[in-house]
Chains A and B, each alone.
Chain A
Amino acid sequence: MNTAASPLLEAKGVTKYFGAITALRNVNFHVNSGEALGVVGDNGAGKSTLMKILSGLYQPSEGHLIFEGRPVHFSSPRIARNIGIEMVYQDFALAGNLPIYENIYLGREPGIRVGGLTIIDKAKAREMAQAHLDKLKIHVKSVDQPVEELSGGQRQAVAIARATAFDAKVVIMDEPTAALAIKEVGKVLDLIKTLKDHGVAVIMISHRMDDIFYACDRVMALFHGANFADSPLGKTNRNEVIGWIMGTKDHTAQLAHDRVH
């Protein structure tokens, strides 16, 4: 990994309050181009909150973000998307009433601009969606199917398709394999590798050690809303990472091992 240049995306001293709850406390974060970063932590550790800050859905209460060496402020997901940060949300964030292809291009419909509106080129949107899904080897009956008719795994796939339909520089995936059958898990992990090979920074939250150790270069752990550990994958092992998730650091291999189901 190229450590001399500044990271592609950085967060410095990020704190996030939700009313009385402190979801994140002085968290530092970075990811490089072409790097796959695994983010782990217990339920409620603040993983999703940190990612939503990176994707512009939430604004940090304190701290700031740096993209390509320049300070940035994302007042909405649109701004983050415009500079190339995409996110696959834990709950997919798809509009069930709309067909697959509309979900993929929602907010960025192809067509001709007339005044403040875009007259959508539906044929082109369908075609582009189909081509993109083919590229990702995602099979659906028809891109016209409403998303609410899809299975959990198919929805996951559509959410991933949306995040990769435009040339993203950073793709954040919040538990992308949670809803998937084994075969699909492999596809998603391979997709992460492909993205990485194309120089995309991929951030994956996962509770599954198999996913992290298969697809990632580095892993970082959050514990109770704070940085806990950060290590290249080669310098750690599953048990140690599981220990981090539970908030234990040293000589935990045995303990962690006992607690793996």
Chain B
Amino acid sequence: MISNNPGLSRFLESYGIILVVIVMMAILYATQPATFLSAGNLSNILKQNAYPAMLALGMFVVIITAGIDLSVGSVLGLAIICIAVADKAGTPWPLVLLVGPLVGIASGLVNGLGYTMLKLPHPFIMTLGTLNIARGLTSLISQAPISGLQTEVRYPGQKVFDLGIFTPPAGIPLSFFLVIACAVGLWFFLNRTNMGRHIFAIGGNPQAARVSGIDVDRVLVYVYAICGFFAGLAALLLAGRTDSGFPLAGVGNELDAIAAVIIGGASFFGGRGTVLGVLAGVLIMGLLRNGLNLNNISPFWQQILIGLIIIIAVYIDVLRRRAATRK
């Protein structure tokens, strides 16, 4: 029935995910009317999901090319430790703010150049390598958490605007605005610039991109650098929120980022997905965790549920792809 109505199916493809978010919120509200919609809980959801959102935005760019970046969690760890060490070394705060993104970009360049220059069969290999390397480096730099950062360095991850209507600590976190700004910027880049479209073309058919004169390897290097950049921003937000750099930061987060991107409707086969969907995917994972916490359901169930949702999301993608190729 859906397939008989292209308008409806296209609408659902673009905005169905938003419906899922709304339904989830309605269920959470129904089960926990007092707490769920409280300003405190809502601002917590925004604050907690800001750094996963950054990771997911970066991962999205890679997944559009039908690639994967397993290293973002470790890169986040390396970046957060570098931020903390730089901060403790008395570096002026404007420079410390740059440390996270720079470490991220550098790691991304290693991924991109390694993958393209060594002609590895799949980015899985390269980024699995850097997952280990970055984590190892992180522990070499510091095995203990480093806490107590300068106020200005904490600011992006910690600042909350009460806007005169909320009672602190409730409010709209600065990190939320940063995520929105990054999402809008990324949307513009992906949809309005030639390189953004080339990224989609590479995901759709790398051969088509190549014969159209696109330097596919060069674009891929940028793609992994962008992904690293977002991991560095995520590190900055997490450092601010926790007021520390700790060597285990980001462990396993790459999997959450991949899950959010896929739940958000991007295709593992590449070439498909929207920034809005990615944010929705992050929110769905965040709401799920929040809802299960509020209802005192064990975190093990959270894991099981998220696992099921990932499988369902990819299965939907497979169905969609089958429908497309049948034509």
The stretch from B22-30, B170-178, B204-212, B305-313 touching chain A is B204-212
Cβ of A230 under 8 Å from chain B: no
Q: Which of B193, B209, B213, B271 contacts A117 (CB 8 A)?
A: B193
**Chain A residues near B324 (CB-CB < 8 A):** 96, 148-149
Are A93 and B327 in contact, CB atoms less than 8 angstroms apart?
no
B200 touching A95, Cβ below 8 Å: yes
Contact with B along A37-65 (1 / 0, CB 8 A): 00000000000000000010100000000
Q: Say which residue of A57, A76, A97, A106 sits within 8 Å of B215 (CB atoms).
A: A76
Residues of B within 8 A of A87 (CB): 211
Q: Is the CB of A96 within 8 A of B204?
A: yes
The reply to whether A97 and B213 contact each other, CB–CB distance below 8 Å, is: no
B residues 144-176 touching A (CB-CB < 8 Å): none
Q: Are B209 and A106 in contact (CB under 8 A)?
A: yes
B194 contacts across to A, CB distance below 8 A: 109, 111, 117-118, 120
- Complex Cα distance, B258 from A80, in Å, reads 38
Q: Which residue of B lies closest to A121 (CB)?
A: B192
CB–CB A57/B192 < 8 A? no
B201 interface residue (CB < 8 Å to A): yes
- Selected from A98, A109, A162, the residue in CB contact (under 8 A) with B204 is A98
Residues of A in contact with B, size category: 20 to 34
Q: In chain B between 193 and 246, which residues have their CB closer than 8 angstroms to a CB of chain A? A: 193-195, 197-198, 200-201, 203-205, 207-215
List residues of chain B with CB within 8 A of the CB of A57.
210-211
Interface check A94, CB cutoff 8 A: yes
Q: Which of A93, A94, A98, A120 contacts B192 (CB 8 A)?
A: A120
Bound complex: CA A98 to CA B196 (Å):
12
Alpha-carbon distance between A88 and B158 when the two chains are bound, in angstroms: 55
- A94 engages B205 (CB within 8 Å): yes
Q: Which chain B residue has the least Cβ–Cβ distance from A109?
A: B194
Residue of B whose beta carbon sits closest to that of A94: B208
Residues of B within 8 Å of A108, CB to CB, are 212-213
Q: Which B residues are in CB contact (< 8 Å) with A77?
A: 210-213
Q: Is the interface of B mostly helix, strand, loop or mixed?
A: helix
Chain A residues with CB below 8 A from B215, complex form: 76, 78
Decide if A103 is an interface residue (CB 8 Å cutoff): yes
Say whether, besides A98-B201, A149-B327, A106 and B210 are in contact (CB < 8 Å). Answer: no
Give chain A residues whose Cβ lies under 8 Å from the Cβ of B272.
97
Is A81 part of the contact surface with B, judged by Cβ < 8 Å?
Answer: yes
The B-contacting residues of A in range 65-96, CB under 8 angstroms, are: 76-78, 81-82, 87, 89, 91, 93-96
Once the chains bind, are B198 and A148 in contact (CB under 8 Å)? no
How many Å from the CB of A137 to the closest CB on chain B? 24
Picked from A93, A107, A109, A116, the residue with its CB within 8 Å of the CB of B205 is A93
Answer whether residue A102 sits at the interface, using C-beta atoms and an 8 A cutoff. Answer: yes
Are B192 and A119 in contact, with the CB atoms below 8 A?
yes
Closest residue on chain A to residue B269 by CB atoms: A97
Q: How far is the CB of B213 from chain A (nearest CB, A)?
A: 3
Given A119-B193, A120-B193, A107 contacting B213 (CB threshold 8 A) = yes
| Cross-chain contact of A106 among B193, B203, B212, B327 (Cβ < 8 A) | B212
Query: Contact at B213–A81, with CB atoms within 8 Å?
Result: yes
Cα distance A108–B197 when bound, in Å?
A: 11
Whether A97 lies near B204 (C-beta < 8 A) is yes
Instruction: Give the Cβ gap from B277 to chain A, nearest Cβ, in Å.
Output: 15
Q: Which of B272-305 contact A (CB under 8 A)?
A: 272
Other than the given A96-B271, A106-B214, A120-B192, 13 more pairs (CB < 8 A) read A82-B213, A94-B205, A94-B208, A95-B205, A97-B200, A107-B198, A107-B214, A108-B212, A117-B193, A120-B193, A120-B194, A120-B197, A149-B327
Some 20 contacts from A to B, beta carbons below 8 A apart, are A77-B211, A78-B215, A87-B211, A93-B205, A93-B207, A94-B205, A95-B271, A96-B324, A97-B200, A97-B201, A97-B203, A98-B201, A98-B204, A106-B208, A106-B212, A107-B214, A116-B195, A117-B193, A122-B192, A148-B325
Interface residues of B (CB under 8 A from A): 192-195, 197-198, 200-201, 203-205, 207-215, 271-272, 324-325, 327
Residues of chain A having any CB pair with chain B under 8 Å: 55, 57, 76-78, 81-82, 87, 89, 91, 93-98, 102-103, 106-109, 111, 116-120, 122, 148-149, 162
**9 A-B pairs closest in CB distance:** A78-B213, A95-B204, A107-B212, A97-B204, A97-B271, A107-B213, A106-B212, A118-B194, A95-B201
